[in-house]
Chain A
């Protein structure tokens, strides 16, 4: 039985085994290799783009209704939705509303208001913030972002502070 092997010798039978043939071979190799590389790139590029999730469409506005007057008892707090992130609304013992981001600056747990401490506390790693959002104990590296609070009629409106 005759077995055909891969051959490296030119098979055109014309005796073009010289440098011209080597040049042609190189040309074909570059063409083939370049084509395959281009194909690979055209597969990988869409896949990479596919892997990147589209930006969330609902970023939320700069303003949100965080609650209603009378909903909170003094010295308590509640979590509200600010866009796709949680916010913390506090009615202090002094009767003043305060609002801040509820995402701990340490490792992004959601913080809570502790009436017994009169402080904002993160349960994950015992981080503590004061009512102005300043990180005063534990691992948090930065203060919480503070929001403006306005009472408009029955609604408690929270607004992101404008960058000065």
Chain B
């Protein structure tokens, strides 16, 4: 008997392996012209796993203090064997992960996969995207370079615009009134302990929900299949779809490796809290649309503070976004049209503002 079969039988005898993996073997994936979009969630998950692995590797050398952080990252990129590659993969994978998460979210929106009974899958997904951005924001500061220092200063200042509790949020985030070594310690804690813990839990729920409800079929395809049941196609998740997913992961890995090797992530200069902010300070691209909006809003609109208006606007838009599934109801035909319109508008707005922010001085 082959060793695999022996191990399988051993597990089966004790844990009922066949019974445990039954749902996985029964799981199917709908097959239609839009099936390709189903890969995006998996790719995001894969990039997250890469983040965990490379993050753990970086932890072996990184030192989280204002005096040593920059030097330790410099040490990783210049002294440690393949350190530049590990760090570069961590940075690139972070960016690609946010990109695929956004793409996944918009594909889910346009394919209407958030519909009943999958509202909670949507909500956990939206929160996961927020957490991913939290990862990006906190991780950005860790090399303690000039860009990161000022991006953190501005970013936390924006959080201070939240009415009533804004001041408290700033002090909580910064670990004091200003961005200092205390902020670095905090962000490090968020980045390697708080966020990973919450994210892992939510991710498990998210994936379990996908498992529980199966994969959604877009309304247009669903209708077509209803009219002509013989047109309906499915693929076994295991091994057929899983192998295709592996292939997608492999391509993602190839892209990631090429980017990390050909365009290694830079380090910049060490942060100096008592130096003037250099020209062209910009946040990471996924915050750029918000950053650019805040720059465009006048200081005062009527009697309301411009910044406050911007922060409230994004807060409101974010809340609507999370609650979108509840607007899609059979009894309210306008709901679905509104959601698609809102999605198209959001996509266009984010794309335009990001590009604008990119070229703007």
Contact = CB atoms under 8 A, between A and B. Distances in A.
Contacts of A53: 61, 80
Contact of B80 (A1, A6, A50): A50
A6 B234 contact: no
Contacts of B67: none
Contacts, number: 49
Contacts of B83: 50
B240 A4 contact: yes
Specify which of A4, A6, A50 lies most central, judged by the most chain B CB atoms within 10 Å of its CB: A50
Contacts of B28: 3
B11 interface: no
A47 B233 contact: no
A1 to B, nearest CB: 5
A7 to B, nearest CB: 10
Contacts of B40: none
Contacts of B233: 1-2, 4
A1 B234 contact: yes
Interface in B58-78: 60-61
B239 interface: yes
Interface in A38-85: 39, 46-47, 49-54, 57
B82 A49 contact: yes
B82 A54 contact: no
Specify which of B60, B81, B239 lies most central, judged by the most chain A CB atoms within 10 Å of its CB: B81
B235 interface: yes
A3 B234 contact: yes
Nearest to A47: B57
A54 B79 contact: yes
Nearest to A1: B232
A51 B232 CA distance: 51
Contact of B85 (A39, A46, A54): A46
Nearest to A49: B81
Interface in B222-243: 229-230, 232-236, 239-240
A5 interface: yes
Contacts of A5: 236, 240
A3 B236 contact: yes
A61 B80 CA distance: 23
Interface in B331-350: none
A148 to B, nearest CB: 33
Nearest to B57: A50
B86 interface: yes
B99 interface: no
B221 interface: no
A4 B31 contact: yes
A46 B236 contact: no
Nearest to B254: A39
Contact of B81 (A1, A39, A52, A57): A52
Interface of A: 1-6, 39, 46-47, 49-54, 57
Pick the 9 closest A-B CB pairs, nearest first. Answer: A49-B81, A46-B82, A1-B232, A54-B79, A50-B82, A3-B234, A4-B235, A49-B82, A50-B86
25 contacts: A1-B229, A1-B233, A1-B234, A3-B28, A3-B234, A3-B236, A4-B233, A4-B234, A5-B236, A5-B240, A6-B239, A39-B250, A46-B86, A47-B82, A50-B57, A50-B60, A50-B80, A50-B81, A50-B83, A51-B57, A51-B60, A52-B81, A53-B61, A54-B79, A54-B81
Given A1-B229, A51-B60, 12 more contacts: A1-B232, A1-B234, A3-B28, A4-B31, A4-B233, A5-B240, A47-B86, A52-B81, A53-B80, A54-B79, A54-B81, A57-B79
